[in-house]
Each structure stands twice: as structure tokens, then as C-alpha cells.
Amino acid sequence: MVLIKIDRQSNTPVFQQIIQQIIEFIENVSLKVGDNLPSTRILADRLGVDRTTVYRAYLELTALGYIESSPGSYTRVRKRPPVIRKNQVAAESILHWSDISNPESAELFRHFLHFWPENSPGIPGDLINLSPLDLDERIFPTTEFRRCLNQVLVNIGSKLLKYGEHQGYLPLREDIARRLQVHGISTSAGEILITNGAQHAIDLILSLLGKPGDRVAIESPTYANVIPLMRFHRLKLMEIPMGPDGMDLEYLTRQIRNKPLLFVYTIPNFQNPTGITTHQTHREELLSICEKHHIPLVEDGFEEEMKYYGKVVLPIKSMDKNHVVIYLGTFSKVLFPGVRIGWIAADQECIRRLSAIKRFTDLTGSGVLQAAVSAFLRNGYYDLHLKKMHRTFRKRMSVALKSLQEYMPHNVSWTRPDGGYTIWGTLKKEYSGEQNFKNILLKNGVLVSPGLYYFFSSNQNKYFRISISSLNEEEIRQGMFRLGKAIRELNGQKK
């Protein structure tokens, strides 16, 4: 029998010492397959430790597959299947993932590698990042949300942790329907599907409708993440140029006359990236084009509630008598993205079909997060938070616009959004290459998103998007100062 030694001065608990030494004996074959181990009583006596200590070690060793026991017989060293160790694993797969991936996922992967300049080396420590559309966490109502999580887990309890409804937690769907009514949208819980954020909502719509080779109309520029996603769904992108009041509707009409369209995708409020809000008449006209040609209109209302300047313009969905609008929203841009809750409001038949896709692709969302957000709304925290967001970002946007005025050289123009977080900047002339632009920005301790992220085919290096979503007033002012310096440097380069 092998000898186990217990070191009582060690920081390692006694049962762990027993485990480690027995594993060593087995691995250096001092103990062989089939060898008996002493009973827990005998080993405990011999080591002068409590019997439960030995028992605990044996339990763990059994779980790890080193020993086995059966009623009425000794505990034995068991035959272990050939487990491989890290150093036995080949460095690379014998499969070539790039070859066996389908062409669409391969294209998506190239997009993935191209995005994320933030992760690249050479980022200065005090960078002011005007690039991401991720909210400033210093403003999150985290304490109130934590209160809501506790409230629902105590009051409703464990059943929130089961699989929930595919369509989403009913009380939250009711809450969302009520909020949408404030924006003039006549809907009900049955016409709403809760998704894992707005991006997921778009993916579901594409999964429902998209046939390989179909044409989709998008604004140009548009939300950067939607371009690779639509390509991934094997669709052709029909880019409709953005004018100062939204997409060019004459151009859209001509496109529809040429060939059928699968759907039109639009962001009517503080469009991402341009910040443009379309007028009532533009909205009515776009809707009537879609109605006339029987084309679904996907309205992305991702920042619907973040209007803090000017008069109310109601969503297109509020005029949707004929159920052609598929409306989507999210809590990510007003509350926080970490709850992963967005929604689709559409014709009930459409919602049922989208729910089927949700059901078979990821079963359900998280009931506990959905219930907590519902409590957050019902406790009145949401209304208070929304007012705070309006107050805060009205000020921040005003600082941003004033600082642009102050610091930008004359060859730059920019949009003046009615809400949200993004401003679209335009240079009179193209700058020479995305990488060069980025390098000069980083040298000046600031970053914006290059315009080309937001176009599919066109590739003019004269645009950039500023996002103020994660910065406070002083950071915004400082960021604009640095951006001004960077662009002046870029101008100098050209001469």
C-alpha cells in the first residue's frame, strides 16, 4: 500500500491533499487499475483525520473517474478511457473551416474581422471614443433594476426560471403595447414578439421572408450591422440614397417599377448613422408606396423614445391601417443593452410566424429579465429614467453641436439631430484611405466611425459618424476638440 502524507501546515485542505496524492499514485502507476483502496474508516484512522474528510476525497475521485466502488466491495482504481492532455492535442484541426463553411458565413467572417478597430493595438490610454453606439453606464438605473430583479424573484419566483413563452413574457408584451400606444400605435400583446434585441429582430424578419437572391431596399448610408446580416441571408441590397429628409422616394419608386422588392428597411428617427428624422409627409408617402405595391415596410424604431428636441413625429406604424409595417424597438438605447430585450410589433399572423422561428432557433428569452423589465416599467422607474435621459442628452447633444461649431475646420459639415446619439460628418474632399484617417485620429486621442461602414457598394472616404452615447459633456467637448485637430492635420496632409 502506498503512503499518503498529510501536511497540516499547508494551505491546501486535507481532503484535497488526499485527492492529489492518490491521483499522482494512479498516474505514475504506483496504484494500478483494479487495485483496492483502503476503506474510509481505515484510511481515516491511519492518517488521523475525520472519516468524512476521506469520504469527501473518495467522492471527488469517483466524480473525476479515477476510482469506482460498488455495494459490498472495496473501492478500486478504475480503468480510465484514454483522456488526452493539452500537449497531445494537435495545434490545428484536420478540418479546414474556411473550406467547409458556407460562402455566406465566410463573407460574414470577413466583415467580422474588418469591424472592431477598437480592439486593434496602438490605442492610447486616454482615448475619447466617439465611435460605439453603446450607452454611458454611469447613467444606468442599475440599483432600481436590481430592486426589480429581487422583486420578481421573490414574488413570482422559480417559475420565471423555466422555459417561458416563445413569444415573450405576457405582462411585458402588455407593457410594450401600452408604451407603443403613447406613440400612436394601436397594438396588443398578441401582436408583439419579444426578441434578444433589435439586431435579433431583424435577423428573424430576414429568416421569415428572405429567399436567396431577393432584393431588399435599404437607406444609404444605413445601420452598419444590417448590411452583413442581409448579405448573410443571401439577399441583394438595393441602396436608396438618403437626402436631407430621408430616403429618396422617387428613386425607390423607380426601383420598385424595375423589379419586385422583398421589403423596405427604414429608420425614420435620428437615422443611424445620419441622425436625420423624416417628416410626417415623407412617412405618409413611404407608407403609401409600400401599400400600393404590397411590400412590407420594416420600420426600425430603435431610438423611438429618445426624441428630446422639436415636435413629436409619430412612427409610420401609427398610420398602418393595412398591416404592412413590421415595427421594431429595443430597450438597449434608452435603458441598457444588457437585458437583451427588443421587440417586433406587426400583424398577428406575421408575429405567429416569427414566433415559430424564434421557437426553433433559441426556444425562449429569459423570463427573469423580461419580468424585471416589466416591474421596472410598472414601478414608474422607466418614466423617471426616460426624463433623465432626455434632460441629459439634450444637454450633451447641445454641447456636441456647439463644440463642433467651435472646433471644426471650414471644410466639415454635419447634421443636427432631433434626438438619439449620432451626428453625421461630411468632409468637402475625400480623405486618403480609412487606415490613414484612423491613424491620425488615434494619434490625436480620438476615434469616430469611418463612413464606409454604413454603405454597401459606394465607398467614399468623406464621411464619418460621431456617437456621443457613452460620453459626458466634458468628454464630448474634449473629443470634438481633438477631432478638430485631427481633421486639420488631415487637411494639411492633402496640401
Query: Which segment (42-50, 100-108, 237-245, 267-275) binds a copy of itself by CB under 8 A?
Result: 100-108
Helix, strand, coil percent values for the chain (each to nearest 5)? 50, 15, 40
164-193 residues in contact with a copy of itself (CB under 8 A) are: 164, 182, 184, 186
Whichever of 128 and 133 has its CB closer to a copy of itself, that residue is: 133
Whichever of 3 and 154 has its CB closer to a copy of itself, that residue is: 154
> Which of 364, 379, 392, 478 contacts a copy of itself by CB under 8 A?
364
**Minimum distance between the CB of residue 20 and a copy of itself, rounded to whole angstroms?**
15
285-324 residues in contact with a copy of itself (CB under 8 A) are: 291, 294, 296, 311-314, 318-324
Confirm or reject binding of residue 338 to a copy of itself (CB under 8 A).
Answer: yes
Confirm or reject binding of residue 359 to a copy of itself (CB under 8 A).
Answer: yes
135-154 residues in contact with a copy of itself (CB under 8 A) are: 135, 137-138, 140, 142, 145-146, 149-150, 153-154
Strand pairing class (297-300; 263-266): parallel
**Minimum distance between the CB of residue 313 and a copy of itself, rounded to whole angstroms?**
7
Strand pairing class (342-345; 192-195): antiparallel
Confirm or reject binding of residue 199 to a copy of itself (CB under 8 A).
Answer: yes
- On the 0-12 / 13-18 / 19+ scale of CB atoms within 10 A, 353 is middle
Confirm or reject binding of residue 462 to a copy of itself (CB under 8 A).
Answer: no
Give the residue from 429, 453, 416 showing the smallest Cα distance to 271: 416
**Minimum distance between the CB of residue 101 and a copy of itself, rounded to whole angstroms?**
6
Contact (Cβ atoms closer than 8 angstroms) between residue 359 and residue 166:
yes
Whichever of 87 and 457 has its CB closer to a copy of itself, that residue is: 87
Confirm or reject binding of residue 74 to a copy of itself (CB under 8 A).
Answer: no
Q: How many degrees, rounded to 5, is the angle at CA 325 between CA 203 and CA 345?
A: 65
> Binders of a copy of itself: how many residues, by CB under 8 A?
110
Confirm or reject binding of residue 120 to a copy of itself (CB under 8 A).
Answer: no
> Which of 30, 366, 379, 472 contacts a copy of itself by CB under 8 A?
366
Query: Which segment (266-274, 355-363, 424-432, 447-455) binds a copy of itself by CB under 8 A?
Result: 355-363
Confirm or reject binding of residue 47 to a copy of itself (CB under 8 A).
Answer: no
**Minimum distance between the CB of residue 361 and a copy of itself, rounded to whole angstroms?**
4
Strand pairing class (297-300; 325-330): parallel
Confirm or reject binding of residue 100 to a copy of itself (CB under 8 A).
Answer: yes
- On the 0-12 / 13-18 / 19+ scale of CB atoms within 10 A, 195 is buried
Confirm or reject binding of residue 23 to a copy of itself (CB under 8 A).
Answer: no
Total number of residues shown for the chain: 495
Confirm or reject binding of residue 379 to a copy of itself (CB under 8 A).
Answer: no
> Which of 360, 432, 435, 439 contacts a copy of itself by CB under 8 A?
360
Query: Which segment (39-47, 200-208, 374-382, 473-481) binds a copy of itself by CB under 8 A?
Result: 200-208
DSSP string, 438-495: HHHHHHTTEE-EEGGGG-SS---TTEEEEE-TT--HHHHHHHHHHHHHHHHHHHHHH-
Rounded to whole angstroms, the Cα distance separating 127 from 148 reads 35
Confirm or reject binding of residue 128 to a copy of itself (CB under 8 A).
Answer: no
Confirm or reject binding of residue 3 to a copy of itself (CB under 8 A).
Answer: no
Binding mask of the shown chain, residues 408 to 437, with x at each position contacting a copy of itself by CB under 8 A: ------------------------------
Tell me how many helices (H) and strands (E) the chain has.
16, 16
Confirm or reject binding of residue 97 to a copy of itself (CB under 8 A).
Answer: yes
Confirm or reject binding of residue 12 to a copy of itself (CB under 8 A).
Answer: no
**Minimum distance between the CB of residue 353 and a copy of itself, rounded to whole angstroms?**
5
Element (H, E) at 192: strand 192-195
Grid cell 490605442 — which residue?
Answer: 123
Contact (Cβ atoms closer than 8 angstroms) between residue 467 and residue 422:
yes
Give the residue from 253, 256, 282, 258 showing the smallest Cα distance to 269: 282
Rounded to whole angstroms, the Cα distance separating 75 from 67 reads 7
Cα–Cα distance list, 419 to 115, 302, 398 (Å): 26, 12, 11
Give, as one character, the DSSP assignment of residue 270: S
CB atoms within 10 A of CB 468: 25
